Amino acid sequence: MGLALSYPNLPDVLRKFVLNRAVTDCQFAFGAGIYAAHFHKEAYPKDLFILLHTNAELAYGLGLGFGTIFFYLPEQFQSELDLLIKSNVKLDDGLGSGIGMVMKYLPTEVQERFIS
C-alpha cells in the first residue's frame, strides 16, 4: 500500500524497483494495482498502466481498485475503462469484482443497471 500510495513521488530508482517487482511477484502486482487505482483514481501512474496487458495480476488489481470506486470516477474515465475491459479479461474480472463488493451500498437504480 505504501509504495503504491507514494509511487508518483518516488525517486526513479524506487519506481524501477516497483515495476520490476510487479513483473516478478504476482501478489505484489495485485496489491500495487488495487492501491494505485484506489488512491490515484484517474491520475493513476501511467507506467504501471503500461503493464496492464502483460501482467494479469496487476490488471486484476487495477480492475478491483477501480471497481470499488467506479461511480466516483469522472464519466470520461469510466468510458475509457469500458473500452479497456473489452480487450482485457482480467481488468474486466477485477472491475466486476470491485463493483460487486460495493453493489449493496449503491442506489437501487444503479443496481438495476447491472442486474438487468
Residue type, 43: A
Task: Enter the pTM of the model.
Answer: 0.87
Number of domains in the chain: 1
Residue 105: per-residue pLDDT = 92
How far lies 100's CA from each of 8, 39, 45, 95, in Å? 29, 19, 25, 8
Q: Where are the alpha helices (DSSP H) in the chain?
A: 2-6, 12-24, 26-40, 46-49, 56-68, 75-85, 89-102, 108-115
> Contact, 95 vs 82, CB < 8 A?
no
Residue 1: per-residue pLDDT = 52
> DSSP letter at 45?
-
Residue 2: per-residue pLDDT = 66
Residue 47: per-residue pLDDT = 80
Note down the domain range covering 65.
Answer: 2-115
Residue 109: per-residue pLDDT = 87
Residue 4: per-residue pLDDT = 65
> Contact, 9 vs 45, CB < 8 A?
no
Per-10-residue mean pLDDT, the chain, length 116? 71 88 92 84 75 92 93 91 94 95 90 79
Residue 14: per-residue pLDDT = 87
